[in-house]
Chain A
């Protein structure tokens, strides 16, 4: 069987959005653009609906990273989305710093409804970063 065990790749939780970024992630599959299978998504209506406590919960329970596939300027609920999502990220990063956790374990990028390739690029490079961090931490 191709691939073999995957247990060691970092686990990433993606918050996608039902109308914009989740369709892009679907399309990545359709186009057979591969990314690590340890990337999981939970779709939400809008990226400005994500509570910092959900992100903290994921990271504290064992996810190596959380990626917010934000609506950006395409948000069907209006222009304020970009700033609001940005505010959520800022606030959560602060909480991470306070707890002595690496704020870079949270990442956000705007993923439009056809941004399948950018999505795959983002999660791959994020997984690479988290993988390296994991190794460093294992050695320490």
Chain B
């Protein structure tokens, strides 16, 4: 029980004191058990006040501290730091939120606000009275990071980590690096092409001696936790010897009897089971896709670089942190959505970009020249009745950029944009302006009244009630309809399950807090970057890659980690192993151990995330969370229910 508690009540300029009578609060709590000193302060977070607190703690030998101020999200760590600087263990500090949850919320009721503040400060005092000094859980960490996915985000993160001094394992599932960006020619907003950007990144990755790149590779097992993940990586061979002469390879490709849709071109072309990379992909080596290869042996007969003896390898790697940059898939419209899959001149934006790539002088689709192009926006995004409620962010900009590219590349193109309100945010607004000046036509509707695509008399029409011209019904005869498809999570995102990384409502990987902790997940040591986290353009993907790299590096840099000690503990006497906690724990933090002749549960502190899901399931009430014990909670409740004093 503490006897020398210091309580500081903040005015926050007037943010608190205009509505809460802070002096009254001080008087109401100064005689609470254990309180030795109570003060009000104009700004608790100001340097001068922090210094005063440090000297109070030192000189008066305070053994517990409460600051009643703004939300703990803002300054809990600040005041824990003050305690630490004064030589007091930081877990003897308790925070009371009397701004967001009192003065601001109840600015309409000053008496009520003051009364509530008194109760809240008293509850914090009750909690600090029981507080105990805690030491962080210390674990050794391996100075290596696994980066999963070698798109722009993964490669950028790998370079950053290696330059900082970490050992990096860059793990790419495909046989080639580059991700989606290798599929785009011209990029918005710079004038660089996808190939140029990927080449630049790949060269830097390969130059760095601390980056090891695996292609055709995937994590298949994961053990351990932050600082010491033990991953198993499955590396599929490309069945090619490193030396290979181009001429024989072409022969091998020609004789291969297996033809499959080429996913690189979003299935508008075909490729063989044995195939070469596109110029924008690396490494520049061929590969055989064993999922479709029939082992007929025809390629082997004409090309001696083919090597079917190569075996799948499994590597065990130890890393301190894992950075996920697995990217996105374009939304695939179901058959019939705006005529997709039914009317043959309805395609998606990614397909359209590849069509432009293959057409030099004239834009031809299915043997016919294209002049009128209708773009239908927000397909698979901002859905009224589907799962994808979000805006995919990249697509307005990319569509307008692509429409301008088409207009500049081919003669006589007319662009018609069937949109839901254009979102070319930031610098991309300039492109919107440019396209309007070039004469592109914008027609708009709301989500509940989308345009309709219809095939009639050998032609395809797009009809809309255009809100920009007083709901007039307008129709365009289109040679090509481009569905502006949004971003969705990777179809195979099983890596999330393997690492226990949660997904958000949008099914993309979920960060802890969008603003305060944007690249961390609740799994300590696993960070996320790029479009795996939600729709992002290249610049946004790079930015998040840099912050995720920095976060991952900060965890492994010193070789030792200090984890929050606020984990679950088992009462050895009360526990009669039943396994219910083990079942409830999402992280497998429980072990079954023998203690004094009986089996009981034991928490592995470095694995426990302190979520508390095990607490209510224990039939013997043998579990508590440090800092949230029954005593802590119930004594706070007792104080909160006390009679008013004002």
Which of the 9-residue segments B85-93, B223-231, B631-639 touches chain A?
B631-639
Question: Does residue B356 face the partner (Cβ distance < 8 Å to A)?
Answer: no
A72-126 contacts to B (CB < 8 Å) = 73-81, 84, 87-88, 91, 113
Contact B502 A79 (CB under 8 A): yes
Closest to A66 in B: B637
**Distance of A57 Cα from B621 Cα, bound (Å):** 15
B595-646 contacts to A (CB < 8 Å) = 609-613, 615-617, 621, 625, 628, 630, 633-634, 636-638, 640-641, 644
Question: Does residue A69 face the partner (Cβ distance < 8 Å to B)?
Answer: no
Q: Mark A26-68, 1 if CB is under 8 A from B, else 0.
A: 1111101111111011101110111111100110011100000
**Distance of A30 Cα from B99 Cα, bound (Å):** 9
Neighbouring A residues of B634 by C-beta, 8 Å: 54, 57
Number of contact residues on B: which range applies?
35 or more
Q: Mark A3-42, 1 if CB is under 8 A from B, else 0.
A: 1111100010100000100110111111011111110111
Closest to B637 in A: A58
Contact A2 B522 (CB under 8 A): no
Question: Does residue B533 face the partner (Cβ distance < 8 Å to A)?
Answer: no
CB distance from A12 to the nearest CB of B (A): 10
**Distance of A87 Cα from B522 Cα, bound (Å):** 23
CB distance from B469 to the nearest CB of A (A): 35
CB distance from B404 to the nearest CB of A (A): 36
Question: Does residue B107 face the partner (Cβ distance < 8 Å to A)?
Answer: yes
CB distance from A53 to the nearest CB of B (A): 7
Contact A76 B112 (CB under 8 A): no
| Selected contact of B613 from candidates A22, A33, A84, CB within 8 Å | A84
Q: Mark B69-103, 1 if CB is under 8 A from A, else 0.
A: 00101000000000000000000000001011111
| Selected contact of A40 from candidates B103, B120, B502, CB within 8 Å | B120
Contact A88 B616 (CB under 8 A): yes
Q: Mark B22-34, 1 if CB is under 8 A from A, else 0.
A: 0000000000000
Total residues of chain A contacting the partner, CB 8 A: 57
Neighbouring A residues of B505 by C-beta, 8 Å: 73-74
CB distance from A83 to the nearest CB of B (A): 11
Contact A2 B110 (CB under 8 A): yes
Neighbouring A residues of B514 by C-beta, 8 Å: 113
CB distance from A32 to the nearest CB of B (A): 6
**Distance of A3 Cα from B109 Cα, bound (Å):** 5
Question: Does residue A1 face the partner (Cβ distance < 8 Å to B)?
Answer: yes
Contact B101 A25 (CB under 8 A): yes
Contact B105 A1 (CB under 8 A): no
**Distance of A2 Cα from B636 Cα, bound (Å):** 28
CB distance from B562 to the nearest CB of A (A): 19
Neighbouring A residues of B102 by C-beta, 8 Å: 29, 37
Contact B111 A48 (CB under 8 A): no
Neighbouring B residues of A76 by C-beta, 8 Å: 502, 510, 512, 521-522
Contact B100 A77 (CB under 8 A): no
Contact A54 B611 (CB under 8 A): no
Residues of B in contact with A (beta carbons under 8 Å apart): 71, 73, 97, 99-113, 115-116, 119-120, 123, 500, 502, 504-505, 510, 512-514, 521-522, 584, 586, 609-613, 615-617, 621, 625, 628, 630, 633-634, 636-638, 640-641, 644
Residues of A in contact with B (beta carbons under 8 Å apart): 1-7, 11, 13, 19, 22-23, 25-30, 32-38, 40-42, 44-46, 48-54, 57-58, 61-63, 73-81, 84, 87-88, 91, 113
A and B contact pairs by CB, cutoff 8 A, 11 listed: A1-B111, A3-B111, A38-B112, A40-B116, A45-B611, A45-B612, A49-B612, A50-B615, A51-B633, A76-B502, A76-B521
Contacts A26-B73, A46-B611 known; 8 new A-B pairs at CB < 8 A: A19-B512, A35-B105, A37-B112, A42-B636, A42-B637, A46-B613, A49-B625, A78-B586
In the A-B complex, the 3 residue pairs with the smallest Cβ-Cβ separation, listed nearest first, are A49-B612, A3-B109, A37-B112
